[in-house]
Structure 1
């Protein structure tokens, strides 16, 4: 699973068709005129949209070379967000009015993806998504702490960091303002999903020397003098003690005394203002296909039935005597399936990852230059965090990371690790995202974006590739693969069930628990994630089924000339794209292959 692609940049997924988009018809902006060629107009609009992205995220702008943004945090004031939205509306209006007939095929794709990206940002603002800077897993208070993980090579780097620490009170005040607006309008995460949320705040309330914010003051470059280090350490200590830590105390009090008690008691997105329209909007956004919630729900039920029969075949294979529920209980409770230490779990992940590295040349013609490492999920967010996730980098001197959750080891079964690793590391998220970022021929708005149906569909497809590459030799590991696939199929059912069909949280918990071997801890954290992140869970299965269908289409059309390496390169060659664009790419791949056969 992948939510944040790059530190400091809110990654925007894209969709090929939106349901109930906000009306964004606008006059053309003055500098994009009909007198210019369509290609020039498009380039100007792409540049305008990119400037908006950079203005929205000073940290990302700094990583892209804008030194004026050093030491700044995002301005989330009502005036700033309204201004960004108005600018997006203007560019979007011009883009919709653009005559695309003269554009090349690639330019048309750029125009469509940019329009979808802008439309999504406008939609989110319209539906007041900025009222929700927290989720069941974590929130802004944890993500902003990544400022302490920047590169510290010069005294200026420390000066910039200190400026950001000084900016934190305003940042917390702005985010808290939006939370208050959410309380007043009923736009909050459901109260049930915020149980234990305060632990993600108290994890930051520690002595200064143990704070993650203090770490840069313990790891100075060798060329720093003792005088420099002493002065910076003193300033940093005072800031963290008197500014940063009090912010977390205040936020803890606000959340426990005001926000969580006042959060809504319903769970469905449909119960929010404009909620039904917003959820259908999210269904279309996260699938990038012309689907509604009922169609997704029925597809999920069909997939659950198919996968269940394969799971039952494995139960028969291992000779287990008992019901399906008995076998799930056995998997959840037998100590043989669980690591004893965090180090054991991390070593298992590393071993599988290295095996996965070795299979890549047989499956891909082009591989990324960026390596990846393995890290524990940060302790402050681990209790309510998912089992694993990929965290990319926006710097060429840092790798990507495959995060493994080592919290509650008795809930982290080893039989799931092959599927998890193939999904989050390679050939899954790391490979796909790194290749995407290295596509320098793409405009930046595509290089640094993430389309969930493509990325998560690729991740789930990567789990399946492991079966063809010789993984899952142990039947329990293969059952783990199937339980992960079942997990994604069940998501189609429970996400639509809760948000559009009136399902209770308990109904969703029971459905997930009775069909997968996920531990009850994971089942609970996942269901709460779906509640507070409506629609995102639909990406995985829809994307995977689309990629599998396109592969079968290519195999049938090309016969013995089908080359799996060439096919995978064709899927990934244009980066993250909507499913409808991917189909066009594979149709061209098939046509090219047929031409070579003649």
Structure 2
């Protein structure tokens, strides 16, 4: 079955089918508008009809998205919820779309540029999700490559518009995207690998398709050369040296990633204290690994253990898949509700070398499963399992896969906007980090090495709270970590002491935090808010509290802001 053929997906046994309401109709209409305005979003969902298209990245396209949000909010005025599901939809739409418009009106939507999450990467990354079985599939790939120049041209015009409004990304971000764009455009690079394809999964490709692929690849490479030239010659000379975005912008972006307005100073201080607490816990586990060992010595012991080593990306992929499969088998029906259609999760090595590990959700009909991707930096070929066991739980089950696929599955309960078109990092990444700690509580990290790996991940996320808020708001450095106010250079040294990853990964992460303000802390802050909400519900329900039932109720809401999540769960308990 190809990705574009709808597969029957059973409705959830946990929730009865509900009648569509006026609020559902508004949400569904907005969702359908998004599919028209963002064709690559349709590809992400595996929905047919937009296989070769891109969204309009120009100022006109950005304004069209803003107008769709304005119109949707107007249509919601005066509508009253028919049930609890409607109440959450109304709450979530007002919060999310309202923030979209705040960002648009401030002009930030015209200046999106960083090393991980902007059109420069998105235009390329959509090819990772396109089917490759048939000649028709490869014709679609060729067609979309041929449309890369238009997408890049629109993006460049928006960056110009952003500059006119006084918004240009920091020099560091412009330089890294120049490097990325040049790499996409180089001979033998990503697009060349597509353009020289001669066989699909179903056999040899016809000559006309192979020619279209060659032409499309050349067009895409040329577009990225143009982007690199524009960034180098036009944008870079106007890019500010300063990385810190300041309090006003940071507070806005923090709300975007959390769905909650937190006290930034209190959260910063909590991050400092949480980092100290995690380090103390690491020291205790290090002593379990070898009596008297420091954290660094314990890590070295684990790194040198042959039983914990993997060599080559094939071994890494096989290990990820095996651990993921075992986690699904152990958790499904015991600790979590996992319908059969959600039990398939693919682990893959990403086709890029930019660094990072990430998850992509299933297609709307589940014919394409959820996938865990590992982008391995160039030159890295050895991996240690003790660090990454918790990563598999974070990206798979009970982390992102359980969360995202549950929302996709709930077609009998949620409208398509709720299921597929909303993602709040603090709720989503907070859940995944909450899941890592939960796996320890459930006994899946009994091995001291794996537990130290989980704590290493927790330490990294706590350090990111301190770094991100501290650097962007230029706060005072805690005495333990230095003196004066935070700067990026001081922050790099701090991260190096607190994040046990390779130099390539550290450089990627450091640049990411500086260019994507508010996103990195959303993991740990989100975990904190998830735990607070769980404890509030536990207190309210007393002896009747059931953890598995709480998780099911929470995940069935889909991804919503953390304030919306609290209102939905605490008021219902």
TM tier relative to shorter chain: 0.7 to 0.9
Establish whether residue 358 from structure 1 lines up as the match of residue 329 from structure 2: yes
Identify the match of residue 398 of structure 1 among 355, 368, 372.
368
Structure 2 Cα separation of the partners of residues 193 and 249 of structure 1: 17
Give the aligned partner of residue 348 of structure 2: 375
Structure 2 Cα separation of the partners of residues 469 and 483 of structure 1: 18
* Per-residue deviation, residues 178-205 of structure 1 (Å, max 9, x unmatched): 2334455553332234555444234332
Give the aligned partner of residue 52 of structure 2: 71
**Once the 2 structures are TM-superposed, how far is the Cα of residue 559 of structure 1 from its aligned partner?**
5.7
Structure 2 Cα separation of the partners of residues 63 and 535 of structure 1: 25
Residues 247-266 of structure 1: pairs in structure 2 closer than 5 A: 247-260=223-236, 262-266=238-242
Give the aligned partner of residue 98 of structure 1: 78
Contact 2:468/2:521 (<8 A) preserved: yes
* Per-residue deviation, residues 319-374 of structure 1 (Å, max 9, x unmatched): 365765x5488479858665332223223322321231122132113436132111
Identify the match of residue 117 of structure 1 among 77, 96, 111.
96
* Per-residue deviation, residues 426-456 of structure 1 (Å, max 9, x unmatched): 1100111001111102111110121222111
- TM-score computed with the length of structure 2 as normaliser: 0.83
**Once the 2 structures are TM-superposed, how far is the Cα of residue 585 of structure 1 from its aligned partner?**
4.3
Establish whether residue 192 from structure 1 lines up as the match of residue 172 from structure 2: yes
* Per-residue deviation, residues 147-190 of structure 1 (Å, max 9, x unmatched): 47523567665555444333222211111222334455553332
Residues 500-515 of structure 1: pairs in structure 2 closer than 5 A: 500-501=473-474, 503-515=486-498
- TM-score computed with the length of structure 1 as normaliser: 0.80
Structure 2 Cα separation of the partners of residues 557 and 298 of structure 1: 28
Give the total of aligned pairs.
537
Relative to structure 1, is the Cα distance of residues 367 and 189 closer, same or farther in structure 2, using a 3 angstrom cutoff?
farther
Contact 1:367/1:431 (<8 A) preserved: no
Identify the match of residue 389 of structure 1 among 358, 362, 367.
358
Give the aligned partner of residue 108 of structure 1: 87
Structure 2 Cα separation of the partners of residues 261 and 508 of structure 1: 25
Contact 1:320/1:327 (<8 A) preserved: no
Structure 2 Cα separation of the partners of residues 219 and 454 of structure 1: 38
Relative to structure 1, is the Cα distance of residues 61 and 480 closer, same or farther in structure 2, using a 3 angstrom cutoff?
closer
Structure 1 Cα separation of the partners of residues 96 and 320 of structure 2: 35
Establish whether residue 564 from structure 1 lines up as the match of residue 547 from structure 2: yes
User: Secondary structure of the equivalent of 2:492?
Assistant: helix
Give the aligned partner of residue 187 of structure 2: 206
**Once the 2 structures are TM-superposed, how far is the Cα of residue 467 of structure 1 from its aligned partner?**
0.9
Relative to structure 1, is the Cα distance of residues 389 and 239 closer, same or farther in structure 2, using a 3 angstrom cutoff?
closer
Give the aligned partner of residue 499 of structure 1: 472
**Once the 2 structures are TM-superposed, how far is the Cα of residue 135 of structure 1 from its aligned partner?**
1.4
Relative to structure 1, is the Cα distance of residues 344 and 125 closer, same or farther in structure 2, using a 3 angstrom cutoff?
same
Structure 1 Cα separation of the partners of residues 243 and 189 of structure 2: 38
User: Secondary structure of the equivalent of 2:255?
Assistant: helix
User: Secondary structure of the equivalent of 2:310?
Assistant: coil
Contact 2:430/2:527 (<8 A) preserved: yes
User: Secondary structure of the equivalent of 1:527?
Assistant: helix
Structure 2 Cα separation of the partners of residues 452 and 362 of structure 1: 27
Give the aligned partner of residue 7 of structure 2: none
* Per-residue deviation, residues 387-428 of structure 1 (Å, max 9, x unmatched): x11122325321111112333537854321111010001110
Structure 1 Cα separation of the partners of residues 190 and 507 of structure 2: 34
**Once the 2 structures are TM-superposed, how far is the Cα of residue 513 of structure 1 from its aligned partner?**
2.6
Residues 399-478 of structure 1: pairs in structure 2 closer than 5 A: 399-407=369-377, 408-409=379-380, 412-440=383-411, 441-448=413-420, 449-478=422-451
Contact 1:61/1:69 (<8 A) preserved: yes
Establish whether residue 166 from structure 1 lines up as the match of residue 146 from structure 2: yes
Structure 1 Cα separation of the partners of residues 328 and 21 of structure 2: 42
Contact 1:418/1:471 (<8 A) preserved: no
Structure 1 Cα separation of the partners of residues 121 and 528 of structure 2: 34
352-361 or 444-453, larger mean C-alpha shift: 352-361
Alignment RMSD: 3.3
107-116 or 513-522, larger mean C-alpha shift: 513-522
Contact 2:146/2:217 (<8 A) preserved: no
Structure 2 Cα separation of the partners of residues 547 and 466 of structure 1: 15
Structure 2 Cα separation of the partners of residues 342 and 501 of structure 1: 40
Establish whether residue 246 from structure 1 lines up as the match of residue 222 from structure 2: yes
Structure 2 Cα separation of the partners of residues 72 and 196 of structure 1: 27
Relative to structure 1, is the Cα distance of residues 495 and 331 closer, same or farther in structure 2, using a 3 angstrom cutoff?
farther
**Once the 2 structures are TM-superposed, how far is the Cα of residue 209 of structure 1 from its aligned partner?**
10
**Once the 2 structures are TM-superposed, how far is the Cα of residue 482 of structure 1 from its aligned partner?**
0.7
Contact 1:368/1:431 (<8 A) preserved: no
Structure 2 Cα separation of the partners of residues 368 and 462 of structure 1: 20
**Once the 2 structures are TM-superposed, how far is the Cα of residue 262 of structure 1 from its aligned partner?**
4.2
Give the aligned partner of residue 49 of structure 1: 30
**Once the 2 structures are TM-superposed, how far is the Cα of residue 535 of structure 1 from its aligned partner?**
0.7
Identify the match of residue 559 of structure 2 among 559, 562, 576.
576
Structure 2 Cα separation of the partners of residues 296 and 250 of structure 1: 42
User: Secondary structure of the equivalent of 1:203?
Assistant: helix
Contact 1:134/1:140 (<8 A) preserved: yes
Q: Gapped runs of 5+ residues in structure 2?
A: 5-19, 476-485
* Per-residue deviation, residues 248-268 of structure 1 (Å, max 9, x unmatched): 333333334444454321011
Give the aligned partner of residue 532 of structure 1: 515
